[in-house]
């Protein structure tokens, strides 16, 4: 079914590197995926595997000294990476928005809530009269379930959950198509997290959003995402629909990840963790990055890097185990 | 192999390895430090072997004729008393470098133990001492030095004391702050649990931690002390006549400035700046290498 | 704090070795004259009593009388204070005007050529002795080019008594609308305040750069960019305003440096301010005036730290009054 819908974002063979004094950190390597209109894609992987770098690069906002060393990011057919600065400013917030991990530090402590909103509106639509802008902000607060009087308050006067809701409001105020949420619930407590999930789901239908949800929380993606992309050491290991990933994970890394999630159905006594730790992204050896930790490793894994190959209509994996006949 | 580690050649090889790895790691900061060291080494050589740098005596009033512009015989010209400007610079280096280093060391020697004690002891003693030190710290240093110099009268020892007073609070505050934070750290707790005496904790655990920071601050401090010494002698409070000194030469040159005698002020001032810059670069380079967060505060 | 500083001033000036009276009268004055003079000045009382006297008088803003001239200590101080304030005001303005933009400029591209350039400027300028900077500017712009005067607050042809009222010449000349005199006053201010401004700008470059680097790393900067806020606005409205908070808290300390620099500038440019008064009276050994000047500097520093606290509270909504 997803193939029939229109592709809104397409990332092609994207690589991003941070040249630092001791070498080059290859944070994203040859990543390709697509996002369809109205779809929610989950991007999962351990901390440090390049998820945030990938997410930020979609807004061309990867932190210095990061550099795109290859690939394209097509938004409705135009390459974001070769857009002019002006076009980028317009695109950010109006076509693609982002919300971040830490709502406590993502709002400017010297600006009132209202100022954040009015500023955003002003820079996208300078001609909009102040009254209309205020009305739009008021409506947004209603949707978010925040009292109007909070507009005049500063971030330090608000609770964490409220700040996260304001962040979402800011991201949506210009009515974008895509929202990238980078670990949006990591710093919230469980109850607030549940509320956040509900809010995101309802906003998704109101605003007809496509979502890229970056997280290491498999429970959260299972709840929200239609499709899941599993990332490891800068590469995509497996991409499939949510049901497929949980029902038939192909890649040993994905299998490991799922085994690590405490399962409430199976009576699990111990928390399973994968042995070993992710590789250093500086000067990495050839071959599959997961090979050193992989329980099913075969010789070729250490020599050549497997490409992401489609194995079923909506299921791709980058693993030699399933390509032996060709390899 | 083991023997080689203790031979001079082994040491030099180790030093070389360390410097080349440091250079790769710290880039710009490394060169900053090297530049500082070169400047300091040059001027230090000048103080130790002044006769290698000039054949003139700094007080020789017959070195040439009066106030001649730089030429091949007097590379920096002569002053109003016919003395050679370069010779006065060469011999003046002893004064300023001596006073600045002695003053910085003196304030470190007084400020560090006070800071250690105050931070470690706490209580009323700490409160009172901190209050005094904070007050001195927030007071304009030069005015303090002027007051002291005026009270003590001219003299090399007196000017050193006057400069030293200004910087005691710097060390005190630094060391006290670090002592307080290190004191809480686990290993000191552990040492106390084992029953180490207070003296042992101070000497063995806290002091070594503080020393890296102190080295950086000492270097930056000498740079500051150089300028304070020069300022004091420039306004005529520092030194008795007869001792060659860059600051005094500058105030002498100031009198003849309206007649366009540029060389009497240009060169001594340049030397003050270079020397201060040398220590600043050394300090900043060291800071970046020993602890990158230090300077960003 | 003020109290501690004032006590310190007393200790430094009274308890230190050296006897002001015999120093003033010269070594050969008869013992009786010395004793008489000491009694006049209250210096024969026990030190504790002297301290109480001193503090008591200070509480009434009474700084005593000069030992040399028949005048109250406050008289020359009030005469000279405006000159120092005018100089420090423009010096501070210039150093902030140079230092903050340059610091921002450097922080926007860390470890780039312009960052190293700005840092080099900051270090070199910080290491230039104020008085040497003044002398060089005098030499080039005063002597060789002849563009600016190198001494005093006004030209001899300008009749100061015609406008002087508050002692702030800028205010005075504007008040009576004497623009020729105003121009002359400003013209004399150029070299001294540029001297002070440049030398102090180095510190502000460093402070601004370090704080901007910290602030530009914060999440709200990234979040603002992600909302499509233009770079200039991100750097100045989001970045600089936040970076100013730590800069403002350190302004008090920088002010101490400014005052010290002003003393040397005044001495170099024959600027009739507090610094020159202090040095003159040190040569004359006029102890009450020396003490008075230092007390005024102390009060000055304290007032500034109070102003800084208020400013801080005004900028940062998280601080409650
Ligand atoms: N600004 C930066 N400079 C240098 N290296 C960076 C920078 N940001 C991230 N990295 C490196 O890139 C890799 C990926 O980081 P990131 O994208 O933040 O991962 P994730 O979001 O999955 O935790 C990490 O190894 C990290 O150390
Ligand atoms: Mg991340």
Q: Which residues contact A90 (CB under 8 A, 6 or more apart)?
A: A124, C228
C305/B138 touch (CB, cutoff 8 Å), yes or no: yes
pLDDT over 80 (residue C2): no
Asked if residue A67 has its Cβ within 6 Å of ligand 1, the reply is no
CA distance C172 to A70: 67
| Ligand nearest the Cα atom of residue A54 | 1
| Ligand 1 pocket residue status of A185, Cβ below 6 Å | no
Give dist(CA B54, CA B70) in Å, integer: 14
| C-alpha closest to that of A46 among A234, A186, A216 | A216
Interface confidence, given as ipTM, is 0.89
pLDDT digits (tens, 9 = 90+) for A158-183: 988 899 999 999 999 999 999 999 99
Distance CA C44, CA C35 (A): 8
Alpha carbon nearest to ligand 1 atom 24, residue: A48
Contact A58, A73 (CB under 8 A): yes
Residue found by looking up tokens 């997410």 in the block: A55
Mutate to test the pocket of ligand 1, among A14, A18, A186, A233 (most ligand atoms within 8 A of CB): A18
Which residue out of A53, A108, A169, A172 would a mutagenesis test of the C interface target, given it has the greatest number of C Cβ atoms within 10 Å? A108
- Chain A residue numbers touching B23 (CB-CB < 8 A): none
d(CA A80, ligand 1 centre) in Å: 21
Q: Is the CB of A49 under 6 A from ligand 1?
A: yes
For every one of its 297 residues, what pLDDT tens digit does chain B have, with 9 covering 90 and above? 344 445 667 777 776 666 666 656 666 677 778 888 999 999 998 888 888 877 777 777 776 777 777 877 777 777 777 788 887 888 888 899 999 999 999 999 999 999 988 988 888 999 999 998 988 888 888 988 998 888 888 889 989 999 999 999 999 998 898 888 777 765 566 666 666 666 666 666 666 667 777 888 899 999 999 999 999 999 988 788 778 889 888 988 888 888 888 888 888 999 999 999 999 989 888 877 776 444 433
Closest CA to B166 of B117, B121, B107, B219: B107
CA distance A112 to C317: 9
Tokens 């015999």 belong to C22
Q: Which residues in chain B have their CB less than 8 angstroms from residue C16's CB?
A: 148, 151-152
Regarding the beta carbon of A101 and ligand 1, being less than 6 Å apart is answered no
Tokens of A126: 């300078």
pLDDT at A26: 92
Dump pLDDT digits (tens) for C126-155. Answer: 999 999 999 999 999 988 898 988 888 888
Query: Which ligand 1 atom sits closest to the C-alpha of A231?
Result: 22
| CA distance linking residue C181 with residue C159, whole number of Å | 8
A55: Cβ below 6 Å to ligand 1?
Answer: no
Binding-face residues of C in 31-90 toward B, CB within 8 A: none
Tell me which of C78 and C30 has the higher pLDDT. Answer: C78
- Asked if the model's pLDDT at residue A262 lies above 70, the reply is no
Q: Which of B137, B152, B227, B276 to mutate to test the interface with C (most CBs of C within 10 A)?
A: B227
Alpha helices, H only, chain A: 51-57, 85-94, 113-124, 130-144, 160-172, 190-207, 218-224, 242-247, 252-260
The token pair at A32 is 């390709």
In this prediction, residue C71 carries a pLDDT of: 85
CB A211 within 8 A of CB A97: no
Instruction: State the average pLDDT for chain C.
Output: 86
**Residues facing residue A18 across a β-bridge:** A25
* Percent of chain C clearing pLDDT 90 (strictly above): 41
Alpha carbons C149 and A14: distance in angstroms, whole number: 64
Question: Which DSSP state fits A116?
Answer: H
Cis omega (within 30 of 0) on the bond before A65?
yes
CA angle C71, C77, C82 (to 5 degrees): 140
Query: Burial level of C226, CB count in 10 A (0-12/13-18/19+)?
Result: buried
pLDDT value at C19 more than 50: yes
A51 pLDDT band, cuts 50/70/90, is very high
Tokens of C57: 């008088």
Q: Is C238 on the interface with A (CB under 8 A)?
A: yes
With beta carbons under 8 A apart, name residues in chain C contacting B143.
Answer: 259-260, 263, 278, 294, 297
Q: What is d(CA C202, CA C208) in angstroms, rounded to the nearest whole number?
A: 10
Name the residue among B147, B265, B297 with its Cβ closest to that of C294: B147
HSE (side-chain half, CA atoms, 13 Å) at B156: 15
Residues of B with CB under 8 A from a CB of A: 24-27
CB-ligand 1 contact for A47 (6 Å cutoff): yes
Say whether pLDDT at A45 is over 70. Answer: yes
Q: Which residues in chain C have Cβ-Cβ distances shorter than 8 Å to A108?
A: 220, 224, 238, 242
**What pLDDT band is residue A230 in, cutting at 50, 70 and 90?**
very high
- The C-alpha angle with vertex B83 and arms to B78 and B84, in degrees rounded to 5, equals 60
CA B43 to mean position of chain CA atoms: 13
Select the residue of B135, B272, B277 nearest C1 (Cβ to Cβ): B135
At C249-297, the pLDDT tens digits run 888 888 888 999 999 999 999 999 999 999 988 888 788 888 889 889 8
Contacts of B131 in chain C (CB under 8 A): 1, 4
A327 pLDDT higher than 60: no
Helix (H) or strand (E) holding A73: strand A67-75
Name the residue of chain B whose CA is nearest to C260's CA.
Answer: B142
- With a CB cutoff of 8 Å and minimum separation 6, the contacts of C189 are C86, C87, C90, C153, C170
């Amino acid at each position: 079914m997803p193939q029939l819908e229109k592709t809104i974002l397409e990332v092609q063979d994207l690589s991003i590197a941070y040249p630092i004094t001791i070498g080059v950190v290859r944070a994203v390597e040859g990543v390709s995926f697509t996002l369809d209109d109205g779809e929610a894609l989950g991007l999962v992987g351990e901390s440090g595997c390049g998820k945030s770098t990938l997410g930020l690069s979609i807004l061309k906002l990867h932190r210095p000294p990061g550099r795109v060393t290859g690939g394209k990011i097509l938004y409705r057919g135009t390459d974001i990476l070769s857009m002019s600065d002006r076009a980028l400013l317009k695109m950010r917030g109006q076509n693609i928005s982002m919300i971040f991990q830490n709502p406590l530090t993502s709002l400017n402590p010297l600006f009132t809530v209202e100022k954040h909103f009015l500023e955003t509106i002003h820079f996208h639509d300078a001609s909009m009269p102040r009254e209309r802008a205020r009305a739009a902000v008021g409506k947004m607060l209603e949707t978010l379930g925040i009292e109007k009087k909070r507009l005049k308050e500063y971030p330090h006067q608000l609770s964490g959950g409220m700040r996260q809701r304001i962040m979402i409001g800011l991201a949506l105020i210009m009515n974008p198509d895509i929202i990238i949420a980078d670990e949006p619930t990591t710093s919230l407590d469980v109850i607030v997290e549940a509320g956040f999930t509900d809010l995101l789901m309802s906003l998704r239908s109101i605003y007809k959003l496509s979502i890229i949800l970056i997280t290491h929380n498999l429970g959260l993606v299972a709840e929200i995402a239609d499709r899941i992309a599993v990332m490891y050491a800068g590469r995509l290991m497996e991409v499939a629909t949510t049901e497929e990933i949980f029902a038939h994970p192909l890649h040993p890394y994905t299998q490991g990840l799922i085994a690590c999630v405490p399962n409430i159905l199976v009576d699990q006594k111990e928390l399973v963790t994968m042995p070993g730790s992710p590789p250093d992204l500086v000067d990495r050896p050839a071959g599959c990055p997961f090979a050193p930790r992989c329980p099913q490793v075969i010789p070729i894994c250490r020599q050549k890097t497997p490409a992401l190959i489609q194995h079923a209509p909506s299921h791709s994996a980058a693993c030699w185990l399933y390509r032996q006949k060709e390899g | 192999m083991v023997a080689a580690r203790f031979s001079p050649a082994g040491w030099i090889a180790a030093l070389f390895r360390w410097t080349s790895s440091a250079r790769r790691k710290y880039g710009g900061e490394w060169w900053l430090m090297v530049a500082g060291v070169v400047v300091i080494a040059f001027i230090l050589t000048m103080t130790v072997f002044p006769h290698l740098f000039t054949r003139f005596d700094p007080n020789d009033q017959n070195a040439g004729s009066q106030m001649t512009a730089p030429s091949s015989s007097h590379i920096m010209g002569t002053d109003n008393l016919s003395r050679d400007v370069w010779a006065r610079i060469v011999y003046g280096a002893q004064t300023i470098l001596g006073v600045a280093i002695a003053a910085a060391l003196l304030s470190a020697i007084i400020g560090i133990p006070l800071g250690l004690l105050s931070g470690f002891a706490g209580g009323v003693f700490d409160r009172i001492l901190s209050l005094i030190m904070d007050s001195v710290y927030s007071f304009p240093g030069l005015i303090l030095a002027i007051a002291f110099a005026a009270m003590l009268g001219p003299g090399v020892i007196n000017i050193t004391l006057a400069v030293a007073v200004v910087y005691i609070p710097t060390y005190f505050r630094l060391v006290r702050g670090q002592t307080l934070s290190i004191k809480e750290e686990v290993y000191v707790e552990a040492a106390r649990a084992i029953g180490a005496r207070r003296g042992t904790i101070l000497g063995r655990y806290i002091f070594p931690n503080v020393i890296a920071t102190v080295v950086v601050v000492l270097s930056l401090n000498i740079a500051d002390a150089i300028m304070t010494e020069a300022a004091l002698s420039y306004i005529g409070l520092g030194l008795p006549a007869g001792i060659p000194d860059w600051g005094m030469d500058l105030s002498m040159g100031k009198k003849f400035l309206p007649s366009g005698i540029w060389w009497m002020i240009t060169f001594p001032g340049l030397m003050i700046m270079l020397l201060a810059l040398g220590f600043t670069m050394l300090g900043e380079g060291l800071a970046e290498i020993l602890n990158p967060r230090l300077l960003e505060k | 704090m003020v109290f501690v500083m004032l006590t310190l001033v007393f200790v430094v000036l009274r308890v230190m070795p050296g006897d002001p009276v015999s120093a003033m009268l010269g070594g050969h004055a008869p013992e009786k004259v010395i004793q008489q003079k000491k009694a006049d000045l209250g210096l024969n009382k026990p030190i504790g009593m002297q301290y109480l006297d001193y503090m008591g008088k200070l509480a009434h803003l009474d700084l005593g009388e000069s030992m040399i001239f028949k005048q109250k200590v406050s008289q020359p101080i009030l005469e000279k204070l405006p000159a120092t304030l005018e100089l420090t005001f423009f010096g501070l303005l210039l150093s902030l005007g140079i230092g903050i933009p340059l610091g921002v400029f450097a922080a926007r591209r860390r470890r780039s050529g312009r960052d190293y350039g700005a840092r080099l400027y900051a270090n070199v300028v910080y290491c230039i002795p104020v008085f040497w900077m003044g002398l060089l500017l005098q030499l080039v712009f005063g002597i060789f080019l002849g563009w600016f005067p190198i001494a005093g607050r006004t030209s001899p042809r300008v009749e100061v008594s015609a406008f002087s009222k508050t002692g702030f010449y800028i205010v005075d000349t504007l008040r009576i609308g004497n623009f020729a005199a105003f121009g002359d006053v400003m013209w004399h201010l150029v070299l001294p305040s540029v001297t002070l401004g440049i030398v102090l700008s180095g510190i502000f470059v460093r402070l601004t750069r370090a704080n901007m680097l910290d602030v530009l790393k914060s999440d709200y900067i990234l979040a603002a960019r992600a909302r499509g806020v233009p770079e200039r606005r991100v750097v100045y409205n989001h970045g600089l305003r936040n970076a100013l908070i730590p800069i403002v808290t350190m302004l008090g300390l920088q002010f101490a440096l400014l005052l010290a620099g002003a003393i040397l500038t005044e001495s170099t440019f024959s600027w009739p301010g507090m610094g020159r008064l202090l040095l003159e009276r040190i040569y004359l050994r006029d102890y009450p005036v020396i003490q008075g000047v230092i007390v005024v500097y102390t009060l000055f520093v304290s007032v500034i730290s109070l102003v800084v606290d208020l400013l801080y509270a005004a900028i940062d909504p998280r601080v409650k009054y």
